[in-house]
Amino acid sequence: MAPLITHLYTADPSAHVFEGRVYIYPSHDRETDIQFNDNGDQYDMADYHVFSTDSLDPAAPVVDHGVVLRTEDIPWVSKQLWAPDAAQGRDGKYYLYFPARDKEGVFRIGVAVGDRPEGPFTPDPEPIKGSYSIDPASFVDTDGQAYLYFGGLWGGQLQCYQKGNASTYDASWLGPKEPSSPGAKALGPRVARLTDDMHQFAEEVREIVILAPETGEPIDADDHDRRFFEAAWMHKRGDTYYFSYSTGDSHYLCYATGASPYGPFTYGGRILEPVLGWTTHHSIVEFQDRWWLFHHDCELSKGVNHLRSVKVKEIFYDDEGKILPVPVDQY
């Protein structure tokens, strides 16, 4: 299947339906001579574009709304504008959430506000208080309450916060590290309810628990086929909350379900098998009464890991609400 966007390299697509159109908020990959490493230094993104379309027909045009935020626009950022997301607030404005390294090289999460879903966006001068790590994913529940999910291992630095909050940062865990020992449980992604103005956390950050269905216990740290690595996403279908994510070094997109936006979530299975390229990152959105998976791969760049392209596929649920895996012949 061909990429949605071919004139730029784009990745980590966060898709939402605003004003009857699908808006896509991706990372903007660029050429670099930085060598590949497990810290992710080669993913040296410096700005964001927003894209939109009124149809997911393969022949439908996708509009590039241009650059909506740059590194140099954000006072606290040093580099690496990684995977973003966006949400509409109760005030009708649109909020772009993004991770980046601060001046000390530590990932934080920032927010920028715009009057339109396509931006442009004006950033707050400081990151969200108490934020850390990467891959913010915003979710507005049916009651209007907004939440922010986030976290990523290795280069995303989540393993540096094993004691639970931003003040417990432990630089000795920097690099491709995570808990690993018999009986150790996987580190969970994080979530916090957002304030009504969408600019800050309204509560202490919580760790999400993903349970193994066969035991009812948290997934083991050494279970790399199922443990959370990065790319948090939340969607709701009926009364069920679907938390989906990437397993990182085993390259699967998986999901888990629960009855609350805080979890706990029980592992449900794989959505997508490994694609060409090291990373896998996605979003799931309902549009025109059908459900869609946005993701990326490296086919357009012929396998260059840091030059990725956004794709979209329709997904389906069975009668029990389980997400059916995307058939390999549709990749």
For the chain, give percent helix, strand, coil, nearest 5. 5, 40, 55
DSSP string of 133-179, one letter each residue: SS--EEEE-TTS-EEEEE--SGGG-GGGGTTSSGGG--GGG-SS---
> If DSSP codes are grouped into helix, strand and coil, which group holds residue 330?
helix
Residue type, 210: I
Beta bridge partners of 242: 235, 257
Residue whose structure tokens are 């969408």: 198
Q: 3-class secondary structure for 206-229?
A: EECCEECCCCCCECECCCCCCCCC
Among candidate residues 308, 298, 239, 251, the one with its CA nearest the CA of residue 8: 308
Which residue's entry shows tokens 């071919």?
A: 6
Torsions phi, psi for 250 (to 5 deg): -105, -5
Task: Find where tokens 């108490």 sit.
Answer: 130
CA distances from 103 to 29, 124, 132, 279, 321 (A): 21, 16, 14, 26, 45
DSSP bridge pairs for 48: 69
The catalytic residue positions are: 12, 230
